[in-house]
């Protein structure tokens, strides 16, 4: 399956969300017209932002709007699953705009495949990622008192087309998680690849691993398209 890969660099959350939605609607329209359509994989880093899923509890945001403004952090309610999470510099955010029918999978298996991409990626840095029962994402030290999340996952699926995806903490400033109950949990920690390894991680290297494992797990052939204006060009096709 051919997939267009676009690295958006650093982009604010609302703009990336809008571009995801536009690509999703484009793919839905193409499929409804019986066309093959294009699948996409977007990479991005966001400036500081807290996002709350459609079924999330705003009480899990532990600071008020004045404090948010003081720290230059946005708070946005979004249309994905899951509760509250943080995005910021040093975090690799991955948004697949996939038609699940093309990959012969359903939502549950799709999420497991996303988890597997991350598990294999961090294994290359000596980290053992695991799944936690009744909780999406990738975790370390499951079933131990120090269980902590290294990657959050939240997706939306409409007419078998996905958007949103996962956020892998690479060199993320974890202090921002102190102001939320991450994913609604009050008894579990958050970590990053940098914290676990004790060194700054080359995020471009991490991106290359993520692409490699998407290729293997989803049987993908990537078409690279890294220019920032690529999405706008694609939407005119």
For the segment 164-206, what is each residue's pLDDT rounded down to a tens digit?
Answer: 999 999 999 999 998 877 666 656 789 999 999 999 999 999 9
Confidence band for 65, pLDDT divided at 50, 70 and 90: low
Q: Is the Cβ–Cβ distance between 97 and 18 less than 8 Å?
A: no
For the segment 99-114, what is each residue's pLDDT rounded down to a tens digit?
Answer: 999 999 999 999 999 9
The predicted pLDDT at position 56 comes to 83
Higher pLDDT, 237 or 107: 107
Instruction: Give me the catalytic one of 99, 151, 157, 183.
Output: 183
pLDDT of 227 above 60: no
pLDDT of 229 above 70: no
The predicted pLDDT at position 237 comes to 57
DSSP state at residue 134 = T
The predicted pLDDT at position 95 comes to 98
∠131-182-206 over CA atoms, to 5°?
60
Tell me if residue 99 is catalytic: no
Q: Is the Cβ–Cβ distance between 71 and 123 less than 8 Å?
A: no
User: How many structural domains is the chain composed of?
Assistant: 1
**Distance between CA atoms of residues 185 and 206, nearest Å:** 27
Read off the CATH number of the domain in which 25 is found: 3.30.930.10
Domain limits for position 181: 2-235
For the segment 113-122, what is each residue's pLDDT rounded down to a tens digit?
Answer: 999 999 999 9
């Amino acid at each position: 399956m051919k997939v267009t890969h676009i690295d958006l660099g650093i982009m604010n959350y609302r703009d990336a969300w809008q571009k995801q939605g536009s690509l999703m609607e484009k793919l839905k329209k193409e499929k409804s017209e019986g066309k093959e359509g294009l699948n996409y994989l977007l990479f991005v880093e966001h400036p500081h932002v807290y996002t709350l899923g459609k079924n999330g509890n705003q009480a899990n945001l532990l600071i008020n709007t004045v404090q948010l403004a003081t720290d230059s952090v946005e708070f946005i309610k979004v249309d994905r699953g899951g509760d509250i999470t943080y995005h910021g510099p040093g975090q690799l955010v991955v948004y697949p705009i996939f038609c699940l029918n093309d990959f012969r999978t359903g939502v549950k298996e799709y999420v497991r495949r996303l988890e597997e991409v991350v598990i294999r990626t961090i294994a290359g840095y000596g980290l053992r990622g695991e799944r936690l029962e009744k909780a999406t994402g990738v975790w370390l030290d499951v079933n131990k008192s120090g269980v902590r999340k290294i990657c959050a996952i939240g997706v939306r699926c409409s007419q078998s087309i996905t958007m949103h995806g996962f956020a892998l903490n690479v060199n993320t400033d974890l202090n921002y998680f102190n102001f939320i109950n991450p994913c609604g949990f009050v008894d579990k920690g958050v970590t990053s690849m940098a914290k676990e390894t004790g060194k700054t991680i080359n995020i471009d290297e991490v991106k290359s691993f993520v692409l490699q494992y998407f290729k293997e797990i989803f049987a993908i052939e990537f078409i690279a398209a890294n220019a920032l204006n690529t999405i706008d060009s694609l939407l005119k096709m």
